[in-house]
Amino acid sequence: MKNFKTVLFGENIILKKLELKYAQEIYKLRQDTDVTKFLPNKYHNGKKKTEDYIKNNIEKWKKKKTLNYVILLSNRAAGMIMLSKLDFKNLNCELGVWLGKEFWHKKIANEAAHLLLKYAFNELNMERVYFLINQNNIASIKFFEKIGAKKEGLLRRAGYIDGKFEDKFVYSILKEEFR
Ligand SMILES: CC(C)(COP(=O)(O)OP(=O)(O)OC[C@H]1O[C@@H](n2cnc3c(N)ncnc32)[C@H](O)[C@@H]1OP(=O)(O)O)[C@@H](O)C(=O)NCCC(=O)NCCS
């Protein structure tokens, strides 16, 4: 397979491969517990943690496991979006997204998800992209339903966060369903 795209251009946003130069901005956006409430890898208690997270993800990119992008709006980091658990045998992967609170409700995640799904289906040739969502994360459930994801079921005790197990809904979009 050829190299993965490090930049994807949308109408209002640009997705750029996550690099260390974004550590400060990402760290700042992750200081808000409303943003991180349902996210794994909170990594916001110290900028060093954010830098380690980014380094780790650059390694995962090299190993063709995870593609992590910063969502840029007028050259500012608004959040991140990623394809992870890339499985080129079964042609499946997971998509996750988060934005700093000041960027919510502006259809930024919608545009970012469409851009990355287009890349996943049309260029990486994925057959199924799935989304794991904490069952109490209403905004996220509505968001993924709005972009056309279908509920597959509930994964019991699929996560262990802050000392508690949590159930997660699994949603997905198939290639033929994506427009
Ligand atoms: C989920 C998230 C990425 C949505 O980002 P966003 O850019 O605000 O979403 P959009 O503006 O593209 O919204 C598209 C649709 O999502 C739904 N939605 C988004 N935020 C919502 C909220 N707080 N409550 C209910 N529905 C919501 C709506 O249906 C909305 O369409 P509408 O505005 O026409 O009603 C954002 O809320 C976020 O970063 N949350 C914290 C991190 C997180 O939980 N990520 C998901 C992990 S699975």
Domains in the chain and their CATH numbers? 7-129 (3.40.630.30)
Give 140 Cα–ligand 1 centroid separation in angstroms: 5
Pocket test for ligand 1, best of 104, 129, 130, 141 (most atoms within 8 A of CB): 104
Interval 31-56: pLDDT, tens = 998 998 888 766 567 889 899 999 99
Q: Is 101 in the pocket of ligand 1 (CB under 6 A)?
A: no
Tokens of 105: 């409700």
- 3-state DSSP helix/strand/coil % of the chain, to nearest 5: 35, 35, 30
Q: How far apart are CA 129 and CA 82, in angstroms?
A: 11
Q: Whose CA is nearest to atom 43 of ligand 1?
A: 98
**Reported pTM:** 0.95
Q: What angle do CA 121, 147, 107 make, to 5 degrees?
A: 110
Give 32 Cα–ligand 1 centroid separation in angstroms: 16
Q: How far apart are CA 28 and CA 43, in angstroms?
A: 11
Highest mean pLDDT out of 9-18, 28-37, 163-172: 9-18
